[in-house]
Amino acid sequence: MSESGKKWYVVRAASGQENKVKHYIELEMSRDLGDYVDQVLVPTEKVYQLRQGKKVQKEKVYFSGYVFIEAALVGEVAHTIVSIPGVIGFLGETKGGDPVPMRKSEVRRMLGQVDEMEEVNQNISIPYITGETIKVIDGPFNGFNGTIEKIHEEKRKLEVMVKIFGRKTPLELSYMQVEKVS
């Protein structure tokens, strides 16, 4: 452990306080810890919830109760981080012992997971295929069933053929306005 390089550690935080803890650590970085702490990370994922009939996008903490920090824990750095409001302590093998750095494989997996989540948010996989039967769950055609004719990936829209008053009518709907018929 003679290496003075920075390593990744897991800071335990009060659940629901992860972003506050990140903010406080970043404030300390600007004051005292700038030379010792490189990054503070709270991995989040975007989830969709239905609220009052509308789909709302919300960010959800991926690892509840944990904040990841890249730091060199020399001198009083660890003590300063632990004294930040909302911080319970470092994730370590023994209670009250020295913080245990994450393994390189764990760091790569965690950082890869964060990059993957960002990528997934940019390119939402298309859960539909041409010819599939769907049900419209939002908009003026709510409740109608239809068949997917075309998928416009770049616009994240579906061209759906719906029977209205006995006539087939083409509609352009977003992925969020339809659901699969089971």
For residues 122-132, average pLDDT: 71
Q: Given 3.40.50.300, 2.30.30.30, 3.30.70.890, 3.50.50.60, which CATH number is that of 133-180?
A: 2.30.30.30
The pLDDT, as a whole number, for residue 118 is 59
Q: Answer yes or no: are the C-beta atoms of 56 and 48 closer than 8 Å.
A: yes
- Name the nearest CA neighbour of 108 among 120, 116, 99, 98: 116
- Count of CB atoms within 10 A of residue 84's CB? 18
Q: Answer yes or no: are the C-beta atoms of 92 and 78 closer than 8 Å.
A: no
* pLDDT at 126 > cutoff 70: no
For residues 149-158, average pLDDT: 84
Q: Please indicate whether the domains covering 7-122 and 133-180 agree at the CATH topology level.
A: no
Provide, rounded to the nearest whole percent, the portion of the chain with pLDDT above 70.
85
CA 5: distance to chain centroid?
A: 28
pTM: 0.56
The pLDDT, as a whole number, for residue 161 is 93
- pLDDT for 56-112, tens place per residue? 778 888 888 888 998 888 888 888 888 888 888 888 756 667 788 888 888 877 777
Side by side, the strands of the sheet bearing 178-180 are 167-174, 157-164, 145-152, 133-136, 178-180
Q: Which CATH topology does 7-122 take? A: Alpha-Beta Plaits (3.30.70)
Residue 75 is classified by DSSP as: T
**Mean pLDDT, rounded, of the chain:** 80
- Name the nearest CA neighbour of 151 among 135, 122, 128, 121: 128
User: CA of 107: how far to CAs of 58, 96, 120, 172, in Å?
Assistant: 26, 23, 20, 42
Domain boundaries, the chain: 7-122, 133-180
The pLDDT, as a whole number, for residue 114 is 64
Q: Is 25 left (phi over 0), alpha (psi -120 to 50) or beta?
A: alpha
